[in-house]
Amino acid sequence: MATDIVFYFFSLITVFAAVGVIASRNQVHSVLFLVLTFFNTAGLFVLLEAELLAALLVIVYMGAVAILFLFVVMMLDVQFEELRQGAIQHLPMGIFVGVMILAELIVILSGVHLDHHAVEVTAKVSNTLAIGQVMFTKYLLPFEIASLILLVALIGAVVLTLRKRTGVKRQNISKQLARTRDEAVELVKVTSGEGAKP
Amino acid sequence: MPVQMPDINLVTLLPEILIALLSLVLLLKSAWGDENRGGSISAMVIAGVAIATAITLRGGDTTTFGGFFINDAFARFMKVLMFLATGLVLFMSQEFMRRNKFDGGEYQVLTLMALLGGLIMASAGDFIILYLGLELMSLSIYVLAAFRRDDKRSNEAGLKYFVLGSMASGFLLYGISLIYGTTGTTLFTGVATALQAGTGHISPATVMGVILVLAGMSFKVAAAPFHMWAPDVYEGSPTSVTAFMAVLPKIAAFAAIFRVLLVAFPTLHVQWNPVLQFLAVASLAVGAVAAIGQTNIKRMLAYSSIGHVGFILLGLTTHNALGFQSVLVYLAIYIFTNVGAFAIILLLNREGIGDEIDDYKGLARQRPMLAILMAMFMFSMAGIPPLAGFMGKLYVFMAAIEAGQFGLAITGVLFSAVGAFYYLRIVKLIYFDQPKEGAFTMVMDLPARAILTVAGVIILYWGIFPGALLAWSAAGVKVFL
């Protein structure tokens, strides 16, 4: 009973926060709503006794991803109001499709008995240990492929954004260290009242 | 709890490991190597792909990682097609890459990563592996589509492909989660066993899962009604990338569709077959009708590829040995026809023309050999004997008739006749119109000659002697019978 109350508490806030992400006018508020969504989802994970996933969600998604989002939103001057101009005219169609899919899913999932044997929870082993044991044994191959995907994301980000610009003043340490006194310092005799000439 | 290692047999993964290592080495080389290294990198890629092909051809039937990764005759067939597609496209686009300053090394690395993703999809025995392979392939191609980053249309193509592709991945993942929820496993064979054990009662959630997975995969092959992105992305991407994305993702996604439907969900055949039939007919209609009004040849080829996907799906719906075989044959022919057509587009691109259909006016007066080849590729796509494209369509129709699907076969023939119009329009422009002054003076280099010769000869050869291809594809589909 108590867990039920906690479950509905977390899931209600999750749903409302998720709506807030797309509905709020200020994009910084959107990101903050996103953080709220993540946090409540983490709460749901704790209810499932998946404490590692909950911790990862808080650390990685709230601590890193959402903060990065916040940075990007604040640094890029994206006019979200302009982007939203066309949204109103597509709204009826969007709501229609969304409601249809929701109704279908409710019909389908209401009569379904989901297989509770899907996850074997071994009580004696902690969550972290259990995930670690399958991640580097049974799921070694997916783990390696995922690392390649991250590499591609890295390369892609560099390829699409790095520009070699000419005429930019950059610090070149070896060049600085190689300078000698002769080429760096010039002694000028200044006559009084005339100022230094370049 | 003792740690249990799964059975790991790295020999099964040898071609994939080779490609992954090669791309990592090239990445380092491109970071620290000298300038103007495009030529040597392309040569290394092509050599690596050739070695991987040889290893693949010599491989035996094995599985590893507890059934996650399967190497069988079917996977080998699809992989060799993917190696051929990647190798040929890279080989022919070297000049294009030099001209557009794509040859820094990253382009080839991303191409190899896309290939690797495709290879993984063809061998996947588990939904997780399938999804990861798909993401690896798609992510690399999103970046490639936007590679010409100072060009607005290339950026638009990349962004559009990325946003819609992420949506499709979402569908796929949601479908997979429903399947996992109802069967308790993500392994294809495990799903099949779980469904067989519960015969008589098929959960609607499982069916929904299968349909969502099919929707996600249909997006990747650009089957109607999930094709909206294709014309814009094909048009906006750099031509060498368009050529690549017209072939590799289709082979990989069809390999995955095959395995998912026939290994994991043979018991749900009644449910998914109507969906496939709808996709097939819709793709045939869109491919045939929408291509007629196009003035850009890359857009036209996008619609044409949607039509070809319709034929391939038609072969899959027949659900008999001949039908499965016809899919493999069609894919093999499709690659060479497309590679040939894109090689000619790339050749004209050297003069800064070739994207518009009108640019091909009077090609026959200036370059009769090129005109003959272009006409051959167009005739092959239209399905006119004695070219290979005819054989592909013939086997699809034969399979449909053998399965008693006369309605589908007739629909296919009708749309094929409609589609012939726009292929023949290009042939008409080439032969019966006047060229512009000073057009078609580009120089042919060795790669262009080699690719055009290979594509032309193979299309003619498979059209007249399809025996070897048939035997090879028959071995490939034996896995599913």
- pLDDT at position B82 is 95
Q: How far is Cα B300 from Cα B136, in angstroms, rounded to an integer? A: 28
- pLDDT at position A38 is 93
A113, A115, A153 ranked by CB distance to B183: nearest: A115
List the beta bridge partners of residue B69: B64, B124
If pLDDT is split at 50, 70 and 90, which confidence band does A197 have? low
- Contact (CB, 8 A) for B382 and B389: yes
What is the count of residue pairs from A and B with beta carbons less than 8 Å apart? 96
Region B301-323: mean pLDDT is: 92
- pLDDT at position B38 is 59
Q: How far is Cα A149 from Cα A154, in angstroms, rounded to an integer? A: 9
Q: How far is Cα A72 from Cα B220, in angstroms, rounded to an integer? A: 30
HSE-CB for B355 with a 13 A CA cutoff: 11
Which residue, B307, B312, B268, is CA-closest to B291? B307
The pLDDT tens digits for B5-51 are: 788 888 889 999 999 999 999 988 888 776 656 578 888 889 999 99
Suggest the residue from A115, A121, A150 to mutate for an interface test with chain B (most B CBs closer than 10 A): A115
Q: What is the 3-state secondary structure (H, E, C) of chain A?
A: CHHHHHHHHHHHHHHHHHHHHHHCCCHHHHHHHHHHHHHHHHHHHHHCCCHHHHHHHHHHHHHHHHHHHHHHHHHCCCCHHHHCCCHHHHHHHHHHHHHHHHHHHHHHHHCCCCCCCCCCCCCCCCHHHHHHHHHCCCCHHHHHHHHHHHHHHHHHHHHHHCCCCCCCCCCCHHHHHHCCHHHHCCCCCCCCCCCCCC
Chain A contact present for B6, CB below 8 A: yes
If pLDDT is split at 50, 70 and 90, which confidence band does A116 have? low
Chain A contact present for B88, CB below 8 A: no
Angle at B365 between CA B360 and CA B431, to 5 degrees: 60
A112, A141, A145 ranked by CB distance to B204: nearest: A112
Residue B460 or residue A195, greater confidence: B460
The most confident of the ranges A114-123, B35-44, B227-236 is: B227-236
- Which residues of chain B make contact with A153, given a CB cutoff of 8 A? 139
- Judged against a pLDDT cut of 80, whether residue A196 lies above it is answered with no
CATH number for the region A1-83 comes to 1.20.120.1200
Q: Which of A127-131, B146-150, B426-430 has the lowest mean pLDDT?
A: A127-131
On average, the pLDDT of chain A sits at 83
Region B300-321: mean pLDDT is: 93
- Which residues of chain A make contact with B183, given a CB cutoff of 8 A? 115
Which residue, B274, B255, B260, B259, is CA-closest to B317? B274
Q: Spell out the long-range contacts of A92-97 with Cβ–Cβ below 8 A and sequence spacing 24 or more.
A: none
- pLDDT at position A81 is 66
The pLDDT tens digits for B171-181 are: 999 999 989 88
- Contact (CB, 8 A) for B336 and B92: no
Is B132 close to A145, i.e. CB distance below 8 A? yes
Could you tell me what percentage of chain B is helix, strand and coil, using 3-state DSSP and rounding each to the nearest 5? 80, 0, 20
In chain B, where are the structural domains located?
9-260, 265-481
On average, the pLDDT of chain B sits at 90
In chain A, where are the structural domains located?
1-83, 124-160
The pLDDT tens digits for B372-395 are: 999 999 999 999 888 999 999 999
Q: How far is Cα B454 from Cα B97, in angstroms, rounded to an integer? A: 21
The pLDDT tens digits for A55-92 are: 999 999 888 888 888 888 888 776 666 666 777 778 88
- Judged against a pLDDT cut of 50, whether residue B94 lies above it is answered with yes
**% chain B with pLDDT above 90:** 63
The pLDDT tens digits for B189-227 are: 999 998 888 766 778 888 889 999 999 999 999 998 899
Chain A contact present for B112, CB below 8 A: no
If pLDDT is split at 50, 70 and 90, which confidence band does A118 have? very low
Q: C-alpha dihedral over B380, B381, B385, B391, to 10 degrees?
A: 100
- Contact (CB, 8 A) for B69 and B12: yes
Suggest the residue from A122, A126, A155, A158 to mutate for an interface test with chain B (most B CBs closer than 10 A): A155
- Contact (CB, 8 A) for B335 and B247: yes
Q: Which amino acid is located at A91 in the chain? A: L
- Residue in chain A closest to B1 (alpha carbons) equals A125
Q: Which of B38-42, B46-50, B86-90, B363-367 has the lowest mean pLDDT?
A: B38-42
Q: Which of A86-100, A148-162, B134-148, B257-271 has the lowest mean pLDDT?
A: A86-100
Which residue, A133, B18, B125, B117, is CA-closest to B10? B18
In sequence order, the 6+-apart residues with CB closer than 8 A to the CB of A191 are: none
3-state class of B4 per DSSP? coil
- Contact (CB, 8 A) for B465 and B110: no
In sequence order, the 6+-apart residues with CB closer than 8 A to the CB of B205 are: A108, A109, A112, A114, B178, B181, B182
Region A12-33: mean pLDDT is: 89
- Judged against a pLDDT cut of 90, whether residue B250 lies above it is answered with yes
- pLDDT at position B111 is 94
What token pair was written down for B45?
Answer: 């890629």
Q: How far is Cα B363 from Cα B273, in angstroms, rounded to an integer? A: 44
Is B205 close to A109, i.e. CB distance below 8 A? yes
- Judged against a pLDDT cut of 60, whether residue A114 lies above it is answered with no
Which residue, B340, B218, B242, is CA-closest to B299? B242
The beta-strand segments (E) located in B279-394 are none
Suggest the residue from B26, B113, B121, B161 to mutate for an interface test with chain A (most A CBs closer than 10 A): B113
Q: Which of A100-114, A149-163, A168-182, B454-468 has the lowest mean pLDDT?
A: A100-114
If pLDDT is split at 50, 70 and 90, which confidence band does B119 have? very high
Q: Distance from A77 to chain B by nearest Cα, in Å?
A: 19
DSSP secondary structure string for all residues of B91-160? HHTHHHHHHTT-TTTHHHHHHHHHHHHHHHHHHB-BHHHHHHHHHHHHHHHHHHHT-STT-HHHHHHHHH
Is A155 close to B149, i.e. CB distance below 8 A? no
- Judged against a pLDDT cut of 70, whether residue B312 lies above it is answered with yes
A112, A140, A160 ranked by CB distance to B182: nearest: A112
CA distances (Å), origin A99, targets A87, A104, A105, B14: 17, 8, 10, 48
- Contact (CB, 8 A) for B93 and B237: no
- Contact (CB, 8 A) for A69 and A28: no
- pLDDT at position B163 is 93
- Residue in chain A closest to B130 (alpha carbons) equals A142
- pLDDT at position B303 is 94
Q: How far is Cα B469 from Cα B329, in angstroms, rounded to an integer? A: 7
